[in-house]
Amino acid sequence: MSSGGADLRHFLAGLAWPEPQGPLFDPDTAPADPVELFVRWLREAVDRGAPAPHVMTLATVDAAGRPDARVTVLEDVDDAAFWVAASESSPKGKQLGRVPVAALVFHWPLQGRQVRVRGTVRPAGEARTAAAFERLSAHERAELLVDRQSGPLHDEEWLSNALGDPTELLELEGAGPAAAPTWRLWGVDAGRMEFFQAARDGHHVRLRYSRDESGYATELLRP
């Protein structure tokens, strides 16, 4: 296959969506709370053996209004927000701090499901960030101590030496979150969420939740 042109277009056109497995979502069974529905879908993805079901795309915007996106993991979710970890020194951390809005996309292809979240962003308080830091492995914490994420990798050997013995590094620097002061959790408000269920017959379902002062309203959208 060549790297472009008709061959590649033909190849792409031949790639099919996987047939959605398992029971399809019936919007009549949707709860009033979209976070409850998200957790239900996440558990169903886990039960069906979805690879990395907690992995999502995090989209942000920089100060010039340019969009950016990357894959991250979901650290936590509650009725107020979806929580993601990012260092303030990384591009995404700077973007979240300066333009506090974000979008998340979860994709569970085996079930033909997508969840989209859009909302304002706020940094977590110290207690929540500290609890998340404690859950990290020694290697992950050590990485944060030498954190310059997304900076140029000038000295790979130095980095691998620094990470070679995370215990020693953590003892030297202190293992608490104060030792990695730029790392924190960020909450993406669940003010607007959309659930997409692909159907075998092409009658896909899209259900949108939008929140105002009186709570969530739902709306079915054309697929």
Ligand X SMILES: Cc1cc2nc3c(=O)[nH]c(=O)nc-3n(C[C@H](O)[C@H](O)[C@H](O)COP(=O)(O)O)c2cc1C
For residue 92, state whether it binds ligand X (rule: CB under 6 A).
yes
Binding pattern for the stretch 135-164 against ligand X, x by CB under 6 A and - elsewhere: --------------xx--------------
**What are 115's two structure tokens?**
């969840």
d(CA 75, CA 2): 40
For residue 85, state whether it binds ligand X (rule: CB under 6 A).
yes
Q: CB of residue 138 vs ligand X: minimum separation in angstroms?
A: 17
Task: Residue 5: count other Cβ atoms within 10 Å of its Cβ.
Answer: 9
Q: CB of residue 192 vs ligand X: minimum separation in angstroms?
A: 23
User: Which residue's CB is nearer to ligand X, number 93 or number 119?
Assistant: 93
Number of residues that bind ligand X (CB under 6 A): 14
User: Which residue's CB is nearer to ligand X, number 46 or number 55?
Assistant: 55
Segment lying near ligand X (by CB under 6 A), choices 29-37, 70-78, 103-111, 170-178:
70-78
For residue 98, state whether it binds ligand X (rule: CB under 6 A).
no
Element (H, E) at 217: strand 215-221
Phi, psi (deg, nearest 5) at residue 16: -100, 155
Q: Which of residues 34-53 bind ligand X (CB under 6 A)?
A: 52
Among positions 8, 55, 172, 221, the unique one binding ligand X when judged by CB under 6 A: 55
For residue 73, state whether it binds ligand X (rule: CB under 6 A).
yes
Do 179 and 173 meet the contact criterion of CB atoms below 8 Å apart?
yes
Q: Give, rounded to a whole angstrom, the gap between the first and last alpha carbons of the chain.
A: 32
Do 82 and 142 meet the contact criterion of CB atoms below 8 Å apart?
no
User: Which residue's CB is nearer to ligand X, number 24 or number 162?
Assistant: 162
d(CA 192, CA 219): 11
Binding pattern for the stretch 171-210 against ligand X, x by CB under 6 A and - elsewhere: ----------------------------------------
Instruction: Residue 146: name the closest of 133, 164, 165, 162 by CA.
Output: 162
Q: CB of residue 106 vs ligand X: minimum separation in angstroms?
A: 12
DSSP conformation class of 198? -
C-alpha 55, offset from chain centre = 6
Residue 84 neighbours by CB under 8 Å, 6+ apart: 56, 58, 72, 73, 74, 75, 104, 185, 186, 188
For residue 70, state whether it binds ligand X (rule: CB under 6 A).
yes
Which residues of the chain form contacts with ligand X (CB under 6 A)? 52, 55, 68, 70-73, 85-86, 90-92, 149-150
